[in-house]
């Protein structure tokens, strides 16, 4: 899931209905999901949601062919704008009509998962599994190298060295072919992590053939074992999950440390609502940091473009916006961030960063 996908949801005309609900793809709980949705639909009808939009969402929520446990979706004017099944339950079930989509729970889920590739190699080739954000690979590939002399023989005499060199050349050739396919798989999901395991000699050669940009993303697995076509072993799946979680956590910590550093230097950071709004108005934000608090009653005004936001409607009217709209402050901030190409990090209560007003930003450039 790229932020560009979410940016399109913000372009929809209001109102937008945002729904997060547990809807497991399991035969014996479908009836319970249907009952839950019926109650939720009744509540949303009472809150003004139109029947056409609710009917469209019902089809997505109750679709028996879609795997997963949680459901996140946005709909309006009789159509589903965006929806996805999540591999685990949603942190909390929410159904919220409003002028803007409520995307913060989805972004919080996204930032703790990374697109990645798992590669198990031996001297003949590699098994490659590409993952976007779910636990099921979006692509799998079995690479069988075209170089077939793979064993170093103990032939004796003058020919032994020749056979050994031919075997090593085969390992190198197969590793080079695998590296090309690994690169393609990594680019297909914009992988931030490449987890490799298997034959030690082949791994040594593989590093030499991977593109330079991919090498810093490579992590060697400890429990890869031999290639097993079609799936990863339970031990390996556990290690992969741990490695991905560690990498995602490290990435978030780096963002928090950068924000604290820039805030401490009073340089490339905005701290608080007013300062962050001012930075977003200038498309100055590189990374928006925001908390997710549905009890936060603050609102902001916004216009048709991403940079048209303000603490009051009169400020936008002065800029020529004829009919400014108003929405929850956090939703307006996220709309402006994704609309100007900024990253968004949702700060949780246990994260090691302090946001006194629930919002801050790392800036692309300092104020003059």
Nearest 5°: the CA angle 228, 145, 214 is: 80
**pLDDT reported for residue 330:** 97
pLDDT of residue 144: 55
Do you know the residue count of the chain? Answer: 368
Predicted confidence at residue 167, as pLDDT, reads 44
> How many other CB atoms sit within 10 Å of the CB of residue 154?
8
**In terms of Cα–Cα distance, which of 148, 95, 142 is closest to 119?**
142
pLDDT at residue 159 in the model: 43
So what's the pLDDT on residue 90? 87
Average pLDDT along the chain, 368 residues, taken 10 residues at a time: 79 91 72 84 88 90 77 92 87 90 93 90 82 67 49 42 45 74 90 88 81 91 71 81 93 96 93 96 97 95 95 94 94 96 94 94 90
Backbone angles phi, psi at 177, to 5 degrees: -65, -40
pLDDT of residue 207: 82
pLDDT at 255: 97
What pLDDT, on a 0 to 100 scale, did the predictor assign at position 147? 43
Cβ burial, residue 201 (10 Å; 0-12/13-18/19+): middle
Rounded Cα distance between 326 and 277, Å, is 14
What is the pLDDT, as a whole number, of residue 368?
67
Asked whether the CA dihedral 104, 105, 111, 115 is positive or negative, the reply is negative
């Amino acid at each position: 899931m790229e932020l560009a996908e979410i940016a399109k949801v913000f372009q929809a005309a209001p109102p937008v209905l945002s729904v997060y609900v547990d809807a497991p793809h399991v035969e014996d709980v479908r009836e319970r999901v249907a009952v839950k949705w019926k109650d939720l639909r009744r509540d949303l009808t009472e809150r003004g949601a139109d029947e056409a939009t609710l009917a469209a969402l019902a089809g997505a929520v109750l679709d028996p062919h879609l795997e997963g446990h949680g459901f996140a979706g946005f709909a309006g004017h009789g159509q589903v704008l965006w929806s996805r099944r999540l591999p685990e339950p949603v942190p909390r079930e929410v159904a919220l009509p409003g002028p803007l989509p409520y995307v913060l729970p989805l972004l919080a889920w996204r930032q703790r998962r990374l697109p990645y590739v798992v590669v198990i190699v031996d001297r003949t080739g590699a098994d490659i599994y590409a993952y976007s954000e779910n636990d099921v690979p979006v692509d799998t590939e079995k690479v069988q190298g075209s170089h077939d002399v793979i064993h170093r023989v103990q032939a004796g005499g003058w020919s032994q060295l020749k056979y050994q060199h031919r075997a090593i050349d085969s390992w190198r050739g197969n590793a080079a072919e695998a590296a090309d396919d690994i690169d393609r798989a990594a680019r297909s999901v914009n992988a931030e992590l490449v987890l490799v395991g298997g034959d030690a000699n082949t791994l040594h050669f593989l590093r030499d053939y991977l593109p330079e940009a991919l090498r810093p993303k490579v992590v060697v697995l400890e429990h890869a074992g031999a290639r097993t076509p079609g799936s990863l072993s339970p031990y390996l799946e556990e290690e992969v999950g741990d490695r991905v979680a560690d990498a995602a956590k490290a990435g978030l910590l780096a963002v928090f440390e950068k924000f604290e550093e820039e805030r401490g230097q009073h340089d490339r950071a905005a701290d608080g609502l007013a300062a962050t709004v001012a930075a977003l108005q200038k498309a100055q934000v590189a990374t928006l940091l925001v908390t997710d608090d549905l009890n936060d009653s603050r609102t902001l005004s916004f216009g048709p473009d991403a940079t048209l936001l303000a603490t009051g409607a009169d400020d936008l009217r002065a800029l020529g916006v004829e009919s400014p709209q108003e929405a929850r402050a956090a939703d307006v901030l996220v709309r402006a961030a994704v609309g100007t190409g900024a990253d968004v990090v949702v700060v949780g209560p246990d994260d090691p960063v302090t946001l006194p007003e629930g919002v801050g930003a790392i800036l692309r450039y300092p104020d003059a």
